[in-house]
Amino acid sequence: MGITVGIDLGTSNSVVALMGPDGPKVLLDGGGRNLQPSVVALGSGDQPVVGQVARQQLNYAPDTTIASVKRLIGRRYNDEETQRLRTQVGWGISEGENGDARLRIRGNTYTAQEMSAHILTHMVGIAERSTGEKVENAVITVPAYFNDHQRQATRDAATIANVNCIRIINEPTAAAMAYGYHEQKNQRIVVYDLGGGTFDVSVLHLGDDLIEVVATAGDTFLGGDDFDAAIATHIRKSHEAAGGSPIPTGHDSTVRLMQAAEKLKHQLGEGLEASIKIPGLARTAEGKPEDVDAGLNRVMAHKICMPMIQRTFVVCDDALAQAGLSPAQIDGIVLVGGMTRFPIIKEAVGQYFGEEPIDYINPDEVVALGAAIQGSRLTEVSEEPAPVLLDVTSQTLGVATVGGFIEPLITRNTPIPTMASKVFHTAKDNQTQVKIRIHQGDEREARRNYMLGDFILDGLPEGPRGHARVRVTFNIDSNGMVNVTATSSGTGATKEIRVEATSSLTPDQVEELRFSKEASETENSGDIEPAAESSSAEVSPSEALEWDLD
């Protein structure tokens, strides 16, 4: 039997961990590094290079070096977040056949799942070289606020990488498991998770034999990348305001500015002031290169970053309100994500909650450690009973109704696994099929939520309006994955629902992309449905909810 690892598949960096006899531990690469940049570089012949070496290529080949792909996984091309990302990367983003967002690099098209699969393969390779054993299973973490498409896309990435993903677990939940492994006292904690691309906050109750997620909230497009971008903008404006030559706005210059901003941020983690020289970044009117001297102190950094920090506290307010608690009722705050190392953020979090956050757990490693603990509990037999893990659904699930509104079936922060159903009836005479639009989100209007897909049920018995009744059932499993079924009340028979892919890969497409064993071994060796017929079924928001199908 092989080993089971926990993988924190991060936006900026990824970490792999294993449960050992002395507890969970992070596995290091050949250079003794615990963090692996989540960067994929396509070199000669489009052969991927992953990790530290790939990150170095960002400087001179940004058009073939993919970073922060996690921000794109499971998203549609027309999503607001996708359009924002298009302006921030050197490679292209185009629309796939199912309306999904895909990467366009040197005339070739790739999925975000493929790029994530390369990162997963790299992490598995590190684990196998570090332990000398074969990785049999993996628990992979995702942000708590990932929707169903993003979770399924992450699972697809594991399948493409030939990684047996036995569980998808929320990052804050994994962090709480790592914290609870050392802390046996009964308490309420908050996990404040600010990573490279996403922000989540979860309120949890830790008991002697229970880890219960009480409430969660998040922002899927707020992270360290945004803080770096704000500091980079400050560098540009300060240089030009001081009479310096203009800094080009092309992607190459932007990448160098972002890297300079990241270095200033790291320097401020150790001192009150920071400075850096960026050779030849600006251009004179004659086109000659000009050095840029960038400086930053904590006072200015506080001014630049505070609007984004305040955005995190709006999310904290939401999570606490959902849990029915105040900041003063929280017993401990666990920081997760490399961005929480920034002293300004740690100080602000302490002020918000009225107590210092816990600082003895490495925020870069805690999620992977928790995933490793969960992996061990799922695959190993132990005499000690494992605590029960109760998670929640992060967003409301519902059906689009007549008038463009949502009829919710499962509300956010409902403990999972869970199931809910409602009975509807037809809205037209002799209606034999219905089309159900499933949405995920907390807005009342359907257009402001994320549409997971269209579910078609046909074969209904003909009859007058309201004659045919359909029970629609939502089921969320322990991975947070959503399944939908429908039953015709008239016949008592359950009908299969055909899901029309809107942004996810089909099983056949996943299988086509699946890495061969030989390709996986090569990667590990380096350190480096057709649309259904047109219809417009919707549900009436009235007490007797009705389907309306043309």
Pairing of strands 65-67, 39-42: antiparallel
Catalytic residue status for 25? no
Strands 92-95 and 101-105: antiparallel
Question: Could you tell me whether strands 332-336 and 187-194 are parallel, antiparallel, or unpaired per DSSP bridges?
Answer: parallel
Q: How far apart are the first and last CA of the chain?
A: 55
Is 161 within 8 Å of 133 (Cβ atoms)? Answer: no
Cα separation, 77 vs 373, in Å, equals 36
Q: SS3 for 104? A: strand
Residue found by looking up tokens 């057709």 in the block = 530
Task: Based on the residue annotation, tell me whether 193 is a catalytic residue of this protein.
Answer: yes
β 332-336/289-297 pair status: unpaired
Tell me which residue has tokens 């930053």.
Answer: 296
Other CB atoms within a 10 A radius of the CB of residue 249 amount to: 9
- Kindly name the residue from 29, 70, 128, 364 that is annotated as catalytic: 70
Q: Collapsing DSSP states into helix, strand and coil, what is residue 101?
A: strand
Q: Choosing from 29, 148, 171, 225, which is the catalytic residue?
A: 171
Torsion-angle region of 115 (φ positive above 0: left; ψ -120 to 50: alpha; else: beta)? alpha
CA-based diameter of the chain, in Å?
80
d(CA 535, CA 341): 52
Pairing of strands 36-37, 210-219: unpaired
CA distances from 473 to 458, 476, 487 (A): 16, 10, 8
Q: Catalytic annotation on 171?
A: yes
Closest C-alpha to 194, from 84, 348, 75, 329: 348
Active site residue 219: no
CB count within 10 Å of CB 533 equals 9
Give me the helices (H) in 223-283, please: 224-241, 251-268
**Catalytic residue (choose from 128, 193, 318, 365):** 193
Beta strands in 430-509 (DSSP E): 434-440, 450-457, 469-476, 482-488, 494-495, 498-500
Q: What is the DSSP letter of 489?
A: T
> Cα separation of 163 and 302, whole Å?
42
Beta-strand pair 135-142/3-8? parallel
Residue positions annotated with a catalytic role: 8, 70, 171, 193
